[in-house]
Amino acid sequence: MADKIKLTKKDRFAVAWRSQFLQGSWNYERMQNGGWAYTLIPAIKKLYKDEDDKKAALKRHMEFFNTHPYVAAPIIGVTLALEEERANGANVDDTAIQGVKVGMMGPLAGIGDPVFWFTLRPILGALGATLAIGGNILGPILFFTLWNVIRFAFIWYTQEFGYDSGSKIADDLSGGLLQDITKGASILGMFILAALVQRWVSINFAPVVSTVALDPAAVIDWANLPYGYEGIRQAFDMVGAGYSQSAYRVTTLQSNLDDLIPGLAPLLLTLASMWLLKKKINPITIIFGLFAVGIVGYLIGLF
């Protein structure tokens, strides 16, 4: 191996530019996978001259991926570095690359959503909107300019940061650092996936299991509270002291399940999907099946 194939700054910029279209083919099966592969195409074109290597690279980047569209940039940077090493003969396997992607996507989405969607956009949006409500054209112009400057600067510099860090990881092959990272990434990946299943898959069973009439002494006596704010204050005090606001305690199937552990149904659904996928059932079939279950379940009052 005489020359190392390197990704130039121009190649990396082409990737960063394409990453802006990451969510273009967002789908319920593998989410951002199409956009991820689309983003990496300039790098894959440069790195893999051999036709089979190229196909393998394209296929491994069509796997499931989903994160906040801007914080994908550092993950892309690390992936570029790992792919570069692989193309130059280093032993970076598919699991390592997928492990790094999955391990980073959850926590980074946890940063991107609050920072961009719930802090920066509301602030810039409110700034622009305040001017715009008065009919001032500066409102939209300011919002558009500031947002896009911050956004693209973030994408480019964090991608470069990821690329530099990724190169350092891959340089230290003899120290077994990469093997450690591979294993560490799959540990982190599994840990985070469990949390994502628990927090982001939502199922809510509506049926009422039992309705129990409570002892009148444990219920707030709404009819005989003092009038006005004094009554409101007393009601809040009573709620705080554990009095019930209604004469009946309603237990739904969901609250029974939550007593076992919240998220049990999403977990079982995920395990069932894994099992179906292992049985070579098409993911699309499962997805349409679940939409049908949702509609039927709503009609019969299950959800």
CB 39 within 8 A of CB 123: no
Chosen residue from 20, 88, 244, 252 binding other proteins by CB under 8 A: 20
Whole-angstrom CA distances from 35 to 112, 161, 200, 203, 227 are 18, 21, 21, 28, 61
Q: How far is the CB of 55 from other proteins (least distance, A)?
A: 4
Name residues contacting other proteins, limited to 139-158 (CB under 8 A). 139-140, 143-144, 147-148, 151
- Shortest gap between Cβ of 197 and other proteins (angstroms)? 5
Instruction: Tell me the site size for other proteins, rule CB under 8 A.
Output: 116
Cα pseudo-dihedral 51, 57, 62, 64, rounded to 10: 160
Q: Which is nearer to other proteins, 13 or 243 (CB)?
A: 13
Identity of residue 248: Y
Smallest gap from Cβ 83 to other proteins, in A, equals: 15
Partners of 288 in beta bridges: none
How many C-beta atoms surround the C-beta of residue 191 within 10 A? 11
Query: Does 10 help bind other proteins (rule: CB under 8 A)?
Result: no
What are the φ/ψ torsions at residue 55 (nearest 5 degrees)? -60, -45
69-128: which residues touch other proteins (CB under 8 A)?
Answer: 69, 95, 98-99, 102-103, 106-111, 113, 117-118, 121-122, 125-126, 128
Task: Report CA torsion sign: 182, 187, 188, 194.
Answer: positive
165 lines the binding site for other proteins (CB under 8 A): no
For the chain, the residue count is 303
**Contact between 201 and other proteins (CB under 8 A)?**
yes
Closest to other proteins by CB, 147 vs 243, is 147
Per-residue interface string for the shown chain with other proteins, residues 255-284, x marking contact by CB under 8 A: ------xxx--xx-xxx-xx--xx----xx
Q: Does 44 bind other proteins (CB under 8 A)?
A: yes
Binding to other proteins, residues 224-253 (CB under 8 A): none
Identified binder of other proteins from the candidate list 1, 137, 212, 223, rule CB under 8 A = 137
Inter-helix orientation angle 51-60/33-47, to 10°: 160
Q: Is 38 in the site for other proteins (CB under 8 A)?
A: yes
What is the closest distance, in whole angstroms, from the C-beta atom of residue 210 to other proteins in the complex? 24
CA distances from 228 to 85, 128, 239, 294 (A): 73, 41, 17, 45
Which of these, 48, 53, 24, 56, lies nearest to 38 by C-alpha position? 24
**Comparison of 29 and 237: residue with beta carbon closer to other proteins:** 29
